[in-house]
Amino acid sequence: MDLGGLGFNKDEKWTGAHNRLDKMKKFSQNIGKVNSQNMKFKKSPTRKERSKRDKALEFALSIKKPKLKPSPERFAIEFEESRERNK
The more confident residue out of 36 and 55 is 55
For residue 85, pLDDT over 60 is answered with yes
- Please enumerate in sequence order all residues whose Cβ is within 8 A of that of 50, keeping only pairs 6 or more positions apart, or say none: 58
Q: How far apart are CA 50 and CA 56, in angstroms?
A: 10
Q: What's the chain's average pLDDT?
A: 83
For residue 58, pLDDT over 70 is answered with yes
What digits encode the pLDDT tens for the residues 13-22?
Answer: 888 889 999 9
Say if pTM beats, i.e. exceeds, 0.75. no
Task: Return the pLDDT at 36.
Answer: 82
